[in-house]
Chain A
Amino acid sequence: MTHPQARRDFLWSLGGLGGIALADLLARQGLLADPPRPDPAFNGGLHHRARAKRVIQLFMNGGASQIDTFDYKPLLTRLHGQRFDPGEHVEAVTSTPGNLMRCPFPFRRHGQCGRWVSSVFPHLARHVDDIAFLMGVKSKSNVHGPASYLMNTGFILPGFPCLGAWLSFGLGNLSDNLPTFVVLPDARGLPYNNQGNFSPGFLPARHAGTMIRVNSPTPIAALHPPQNARHITRASEADGQTLLRELNQQHLLQNPGDSRLEARIAGYEMAARLQLHATEALDVTRETEATQRLYGLGQSPMEAFARSCLTARRLVERGVRFVQVWSGASGASNNWDNHTSILDELPAMARQTDQPIAALLTDLKSRGLLEDTLVVWSTEFGRMPFTQGVEGRDHNGGTSVGWLAGAGVRGGMAVGESDAWGWKSVSGHDVHDVHATILHLLGIDHERLTYRHNGSDRRLTDVHGHVVHEVLS
């Protein structure tokens, strides 16, 4: 009886860490079957040639206002202050719809392509020629919880694997020294849904995102023993590793035929390597002063997000497959959920992220990493063209803007559009299309990356999703 999935589970049972080493180990023992594996002929893709090898996703938690950033709507300037009457039912989930409100920030054309970007993103605006904008991305929900799950997992319910977990499952790792999938939360706290957004769902737990709090003294849980455990020393750790290996080897001899035992031995060796390499990878002071300045390190208010962006680059450079960087914690402030005042709340968030994101693009490009690194900018939904209260905007699942840059992406273009008010998507792209496109760039056919759970062959894109071919270079 053969169960390819079982072989695969053994193989990748070291998760992000050391899948390759173990794969070799097991291959030598003839335990390898033929699960879909990254194919060198496809440049590491599963089903066709991969354009991207790794991904950095920048997630703006709270629902970044498309109208006030990238989706220029001159009609709103004309109709500012008037009642919104599109000829059909209008509702907002947390408020009574107010009058139409123009973007309070000036829009200007940028780059050779002439993309419209509002004044809140002066640094990023210089990169529009490298960016493909998705102008009318709709959601299925107007509520943070379900919409954030949707944008991360393709489902509005908790318990489904997120994009990073699917990539870990499908493509495995690029490095034996660092995790495959890393999450850098906002320094101020976790996003709506907390860790639910980066859950492996029903995929094996090893595909979970490793949370790294780059602004904390202990960025990775349990990476090192607690400080107060004085009996644990460098020498006791080194001798302990040796002793453990000896005990386990002896046990292995007495219990042959169980690859899990070997996998577990390898797991401890990889843990030791992670201790070494993670510490180095997270040390941004090893960067030149110019690089640190470029991102905005040491400068208020972008310091924290700059550290995340620079860390993200260091991680992908060292073989992390997928890094998700969060801007914004859950709650009434310090995020993109600008219910009260677009005028006050949005520029603050934009300032924190504008320079670091622009620097990330510059830095990746100058190192040649942008060739095979995909950068994705996402948010769970957009905001309404009319006011909430005096000058805020309520949630809008009808349309939002996201963008892609880097590996395999045609820059300086935009695809899709919203209606004249920025209320609903006209082109009808949705999160499944975004996911299908990202998977496509990584050499994966989104309909063929599946996992059976409780009676269904589950996909990241559920039963939906079309690759947005226009954005491919």
Chain B
Amino acid sequence: MRACWFPIVAFVLSGVGCREGAGAAVDPPAPSVFARTAAVMQLFESRCLQCHDSRKSRGGFDLSTRAKLLHGGESGPAVVPGSAPKSLLMRLVRHQQEPAMPRQGQKLTDEQIALVAAWIDAGVPYDRSLGKGNDNVAWWSLQPVKKPIPPSVDAKYPEWSRNPIDAFVLAKLQAAKLTPTPGAEPRTLLRRVYFDLIGLPPTPEEMDAFVAAWDSAGAKRQAVYEHVVERLLSSPHYGERWARHWMDVVHFAETHGHDQDVPREHAWPYRDYLIQSFNADKPYARFIQEQIAADVLFPDDAPATTALGFLAAGPWDESSLKDIREDSLDRKAGQYIDRDDMVGTVSLAFLSTTVQCARCHDHKFDPISQKEYYGMQAVFAGVDRANRAYDPDPGVRAQRLALQKRKQELQGGAPVAARLLKDAGVAARVSAWEQGLAKNAGWKVLDPVAFASAEGATLKKLEDGSVLSGGTKPERDTYTIEAVSSDTITALRLETLTDDSLPHRGPGRQDNGNLHLTEIKIAAAPAGAPMKRQPVAVARALADFNQDGWDIAKALDGQRGTAWGIYPAVGKPHAAVFVFKEPVSFPGGTRLTVTLEQLHGGGHLIGRARLSATSAAVTSADITLQPLPPHVQAILTKTARERTEAERATLAHYALTQIVDAELAALPKPRLVYAAATDFQADGSFRPAKGCRAVHVLKRGDVRFPLAPAAPGALGAVSGMDGALRIADPSKEGQRRAALARWVSDPKNALTWRSIVNRVWHYHFGRGLVATPNDFGRLGATPSHPELLDWLTATFQEDGGSLKNLHRRIVTSAAYMQDSRHRDAAARIDADNVLLWRMNVQRLDAESVRDAVLQIAGKLDLTMGGPSVKHFQQSPGIHRTPKVDYQAFDPDAPGGQRRSVYRFIFRTVPDPFMDALDCPDASQFTATRTVSVTALQALALLNDPFMVRMSEHFAKRLAGAGDVKQQVRQAYRLALNREPAEREATLLEKYATRHGMANACRVLLNSNEFAFIP
């Protein structure tokens, strides 16, 4: 991003300085006309009214109206109209007397103090009453957008008459007695527009071609330039560049943040969604609607599901929302804070409004009530952040929906199957299924007749024949399970199953869901003579999953220090099979005693176990094969003719259920996107809301003091809009989001449409027409060019919300195409170039530095899309957060040379190189990046392994250019898009000859000229 180096200011004072004592001789009670009353009013509103309005009036002092000001407070009259020197207020704001004012924040500037003095001298005129409720309706950003007619353009500046933007800009310049700067040289212009639109510099060939065309175009230069603009806007790299800006706005990163900063391996589809959306020039209203409620508003557009990554882009507190006790206050607080982030994401990104300020109390400056804030929270009462499944292929999606429907139908039980069996095709599938059964091992669940924990855990038998462990969690334990079988047994299977009561759903009881089976011992006895028990020898063991270093053989090695484990494949069932050396069989049945020793410690215990046995030979394919339930086994022992109608239906029901499950499993796996989700796999006690959670207005924002329930809603203050959301069935969470999406994207919502136009302007010029792109409220800046903002907004809406048209309009304006050179005379009038008497010089943002260096070094890999590249080595951490080592990453590693937008962003351990260049860590919403210059930044650009390696590649690339002179020339053309001056060339050549070209390249890439785009 082209970062803004302008300050964020609460108010913009028009003009510089103020004549002290102007109008001092005015008769006190009658205020004179004072040209800058509005500025004083704004100053009071931003700095004084927090404490001295009609509600608070600290020290008994209220300055919301002239009468109240004149009345004064506990310390007496605050002002003597017409005499600043005699006014108490002046002594307080000058810090000549206590209490120094304003109490909060910085002292007023000299200019501000002078302004107030002049205003007092002018007789303290008010142009309105100040404070809440008085003139909120009149606040600029809440007013409907009206399309003004562009002013007529002075004939002295013919090139400023082409584009209506310029008419507005020029009018303001001329009113301030400023003149615009002539157009920039073609080299400057091309480099500027390349970085701006695609985030990369032009190649030397592109530069040569452009300059040649420009020079020979004569009067048609504008067309030559516009041709380039078209090419850049249709380049796929445009989407990469502008998606990255949006990622700042929504604080997108790929880990949770907080103390359990777990990577989100499926967050990237949202980034690809952004890139594709920008490249497709998706209408802005649709862009909004998809990000808030794609699943509800566009259910048939499956890929749009990825847009919901928007609501999940911010941090997520895994400890509070998953790991601590579900019934704790901290859990509840975590949920409110989680929704708060979603409210912030929507209101800042789309509305440029600081709704979150109303969390503890009504907004102090803007017309937003606490009730409205919690109304917006209630919109998100049913969503969480989780991996959300979607099928990018519509065909697969249709199949999955059909199978899921069939599965649901089958939940009607055997009668459904009986009906389905009338279809000959279905009957044939059922009998084919039965024939297929004969080919496998046919596990039969062993019904436990006795089971015990040696250390006092509570074992409970469940309906499916499994045993669930609960209650006390000992460090170590041994379970003994006994079962009787009438068959010959060739192998025993131990399933470790999941359960919602277990951490991470198990199958282990350890906090991380793991278990360790130290040793399994199997003994057999005749069913009628349990005392004649003999150990059973196991020939081999198989498992569906083995933890690294903890394979199933460890459960049979007689070692107490080794065991079978299943980490990190927790949250899913596992199975191990023990094939006996000799089949075991006793006339009259066999009583098996299975001892499960779990002696590792730390509570690595089996959470839920089930035993089954087979009489057949076992292959690895059989390990996880579902056992047939006893009632199905019973039916299968009969021939088809012996079965009753009901038995046939029961069997068919079972078979069809199995078939549907198998077909579902055979479909291509759904893709996952980390997004707002309502239906996702539960992880411990973090589970879908299944409806809407209760959201209350909280007294002082404190979860301990809930007030009335909050109804889903939006903001009431936008002129011409109703703050109430029309929701047919508010119990459906999706309808809540859909209604908000429609409200935000409503053509009448002035906040929304001005917001995006201002953001786009900000990125092009380095400063928005409103200097605070996230705050259009009273603490934000007011527009420098209100008519221009409205003209652009109205035109953008007429265009159907086409961002590309907006870019086109802006970058082809004379204002944008100006040179950026400094002029003392102009700077004396407008030092910060708010009125755009020249183009702003901007420092390259972190991503542009890195991408440009890669391109210049000849190493840029332009592969688009897909999982993000981790510019670090990741290894397991002690707890949930992995260890991350950026230094161990090889800059030449595969993927390491792709564009920075594909970089994996780790919230709590930012990339030190990008960090030094002011790349935000995505903890906060970033509307404008800061631009700092630090010694650490210098060190990063000099010494980071990436920079050092790329300098070497750059030098190698130059080797083919010829002698040192030629190489230096080519280096300048690549890095700075120009030929070196003679003196520069000499210096560089000398240095390169002495210390090598790689060092020379490194110097060039550290130069100010490379870092700043004029």
B259 and A192 contacting across the interface, CB-CB below 8 Å: yes
Identify which of A91, A192, A222, A247 gathers the most chain B CB atoms within 10 Å of its CB.
A222
B939 and A274 contacting across the interface, CB-CB below 8 Å: yes
Contacts of B325 in A (CB 8 A): 91-95
Cβ-based interface call for A344 (8 A): no
Q: How far is the CA of A220 from the CA of B991 in the complex (A)?
A: 28
Cβ-based interface call for A334 (8 A): yes
Q: How far is the CA of A373 from the CA of B527 in the complex (A)?
A: 80
A1 and B834 contacting across the interface, CB-CB below 8 Å: yes
A2 and B109 contacting across the interface, CB-CB below 8 Å: yes
Q: How far is the CA of A354 from the CA of B834 in the complex (A)?
A: 57
Contacts of B1006 in A (CB 8 A): 244, 268
* Interfacial residues of chain B within 239-292, with CB under 8 A of chain A in the complex: 251, 257-261
Contacts of A331 in B (CB 8 A): 877-879
Known: A192-B259, A226-B943, A244-B1003. A239 touches B991 (CB 8 A): yes
* Interfacial residues of chain A within 219-263, with CB under 8 A of chain B in the complex: 220-226, 229, 231-233, 235-236, 239-240, 243-244, 246-248, 250-252, 255-258, 260-261, 263
Contacts of A143 in B (CB 8 A): 259, 317, 319-320, 324, 330, 334
Cβ-based interface call for B75 (8 A): no
Contacts of A9 in B (CB 8 A): 5, 7, 930
Contacts of B984 in A (CB 8 A): 247, 250
Identify which of A13, A93, A233, A247 gathers the most chain B CB atoms within 10 Å of its CB.
A247
Cβ-based interface call for A156 (8 A): yes
Cβ-based interface call for A271 (8 A): yes
A205 and B930 contacting across the interface, CB-CB below 8 Å: yes
Minimal beta-carbon separation of A388 from chain B (angstroms) = 12
Cβ-based interface call for A194 (8 A): yes
B153-161, B622-630, B738-746, B774-782 - interface stretch: B774-782
Cβ-based interface call for B729 (8 A): no
B995 and A240 contacting across the interface, CB-CB below 8 Å: yes
CB contact between B931 and one of A14, A247, A260, A329 (< 8 Å): that residue:
A260
Q: How far is the CA of A94 from the CA of B473 in the complex (A)?
A: 14
Residue pairs across A and B with CB atoms within 8 Å: the count is 334
B878 and A332 contacting across the interface, CB-CB below 8 Å: yes
Q: How far is the CA of A173 from the CA of B534 in the complex (A)?
A: 79
CB contact between A268 and one of B886, B938, B991 (< 8 Å): that residue:
B938
Q: How far is the CA of A271 from the CA of B934 in the complex (A)?
A: 8
A77-85, A311-319, A359-367, A449-457 - interface stretch: A449-457
B100-108, B178-186, B514-522, B648-656 - interface stretch: B100-108
Minimal beta-carbon separation of B807 from chain A (angstroms) = 26
Cβ-based interface call for B639 (8 A): no
A448 and B104 contacting across the interface, CB-CB below 8 Å: yes
Cβ-based interface call for A146 (8 A): yes
Cβ-based interface call for B895 (8 A): no
A31-39, A52-60, A345-353, A430-438 - interface stretch: A31-39
Q: How far is the CA of A175 from the CA of B948 in the complex (A)?
A: 29
Q: How far is the CA of A3 from the CA of B771 in the complex (A)?
A: 12
Cβ-based interface call for B6 (8 A): yes
Cβ-based interface call for A422 (8 A): no
B109 and A258 contacting across the interface, CB-CB below 8 Å: no
A91 and B105 contacting across the interface, CB-CB below 8 Å: no
A222 and B944 contacting across the interface, CB-CB below 8 Å: yes
Q: Please give me the residue from chain A that is nearest to B940 by CB atom.
A: A222
B1009 and A247 contacting across the interface, CB-CB below 8 Å: yes
CB contact between A17 and one of B260, B935, B1007 (< 8 Å): that residue:
B935
Known: A194-B881, A457-B104. A247 touches B1003 (CB 8 A): yes
Cβ-based interface call for A18 (8 A): yes
Binary contact track B931-966/A, C-beta < 8 Å → 1, others 0? 111111111101111001000100000000000000
Cβ-based interface call for A201 (8 A): yes
Binary contact track B293-325/A, C-beta < 8 Å → 1, others 0? 000000000000000000000010101100111
| Contact-residue bracket for chain A | 35 or more
Q: How far is the CA of A448 from the CA of B99 in the complex (A)?
A: 13
Q: Is the interface of A mostly helix, strand, loop or mixed?
A: loop
Q: How far is the CA of A194 from the CA of B912 in the complex (A)?
A: 13
CB contact between A236 and one of B111, B925, B995 (< 8 Å): that residue:
B995
Minimal beta-carbon separation of B300 from chain A (angstroms) = 37
A252 and B1008 contacting across the interface, CB-CB below 8 Å: yes
Contacts of A244 in B (CB 8 A): 1003, 1006-1007
Identify which of A3, A17, A329 gathers the most chain B CB atoms within 10 Å of its CB.
A3
Cβ-based interface call for A371 (8 A): no
Q: How far is the CA of A9 from the CA of B987 in the complex (A)?
A: 33
* Interfacial residues of chain B within 966-1014, with CB under 8 A of chain A in the complex: 983-984, 987-988, 991, 994-996, 998-999, 1002-1004, 1006-1009, 1011-1012, 1014
Minimal beta-carbon separation of B508 from chain A (angstroms) = 16
Cβ-based interface call for A299 (8 A): no
A158 and B258 contacting across the interface, CB-CB below 8 Å: yes
B933 and A455 contacting across the interface, CB-CB below 8 Å: no
Q: How far is the CA of A329 from the CA of B883 in the complex (A)?
A: 11
Q: How far is the CA of A34 from the CA of B327 in the complex (A)?
A: 52
B933 and A263 contacting across the interface, CB-CB below 8 Å: yes
Cβ-based interface call for A122 (8 A): no
A94 and B933 contacting across the interface, CB-CB below 8 Å: no
Cβ-based interface call for A447 (8 A): yes
Q: Please give me the residue from chain A that is nearest to B955 by CB atom.
A: A231
Q: How far is the CA of A34 from the CA of B354 in the complex (A)?
A: 29
Q: Please give me the residue from chain A that is nearest to B834 by CB atom.
A: A1
Contacts of B1003 in A (CB 8 A): 240, 243-244, 247
A157 and B7 contacting across the interface, CB-CB below 8 Å: no
Minimal beta-carbon separation of B1011 from chain A (angstroms) = 7
B109 and A33 contacting across the interface, CB-CB below 8 Å: yes
Q: How far is the CA of A34 from the CA of B918 in the complex (A)?
A: 26
* Interfacial residues of chain B within 320-340, with CB under 8 A of chain A in the complex: 320, 323-325, 327-330, 333-334, 337
Minimal beta-carbon separation of A211 from chain B (angstroms) = 9
Minimal beta-carbon separation of A403 from chain B (angstroms) = 24
B777 and A225 contacting across the interface, CB-CB below 8 Å: no
Cβ-based interface call for A301 (8 A): no
CB contact between B996 and one of A93, A192, A236, A455 (< 8 Å): that residue:
A236
Cβ-based interface call for A190 (8 A): yes
CB contact between B933 and one of A13, A157, A190, A229 (< 8 Å): that residue:
A13
Identify which of A1, A210, A264 gathers the most chain B CB atoms within 10 Å of its CB.
A1
CB contact between A158 and one of B7, B257, B930, B945 (< 8 Å): that residue:
B257
B317 and A146 contacting across the interface, CB-CB below 8 Å: yes
Minimal beta-carbon separation of B944 from chain A (angstroms) = 5
Known: A35-B106, A454-B774. A145 touches B822 (CB 8 A): no
Cβ-based interface call for A473 (8 A): no
CB contact between B923 and one of A13, A199, A210, A266 (< 8 Å): that residue:
A199
B841 and A248 contacting across the interface, CB-CB below 8 Å: no
Contacts of B171 in A (CB 8 A): none
Contacts of A17 in B (CB 8 A): 934-936
B939 and A4 contacting across the interface, CB-CB below 8 Å: no
Q: How far is the CA of A221 from the CA of B832 in the complex (A)?
A: 35
Contacts of B935 in A (CB 8 A): 14-18, 179, 267-268, 270-271, 273-274
Cβ-based interface call for A159 (8 A): yes
Contacts of A279 in B (CB 8 A): none
Known: A158-B257, A202-B924, A454-B774. A189 touches B878 (CB 8 A): yes
Known: A257-B827, A455-B780. A210 touches B936 (CB 8 A): yes
B879 and A222 contacting across the interface, CB-CB below 8 Å: no
Cβ-based interface call for B824 (8 A): yes
| Closest 6 pairs (CB-CB, A-B) | A331-B878, A257-B822, A455-B354, A159-B923, A194-B908, A159-B924
A-B contact pairs, 21 of them (CB 8 A): A2-B111, A3-B7, A15-B934, A18-B935, A92-B325, A145-B317, A158-B315, A195-B921, A196-B907, A204-B932, A205-B915, A229-B952, A240-B991, A258-B841, A267-B933, A267-B938, A271-B939, A331-B877, A333-B878, A455-B354, A455-B774
Extra contacts, 16 of them, besides A158-B258, A266-B933 (Cβ < 8 A), are A1-B15, A94-B324, A143-B320, A144-B259, A146-B258, A189-B878, A201-B923, A204-B918, A208-B915, A231-B995, A240-B999, A244-B1003, A255-B821, A255-B841, A260-B5, A455-B772
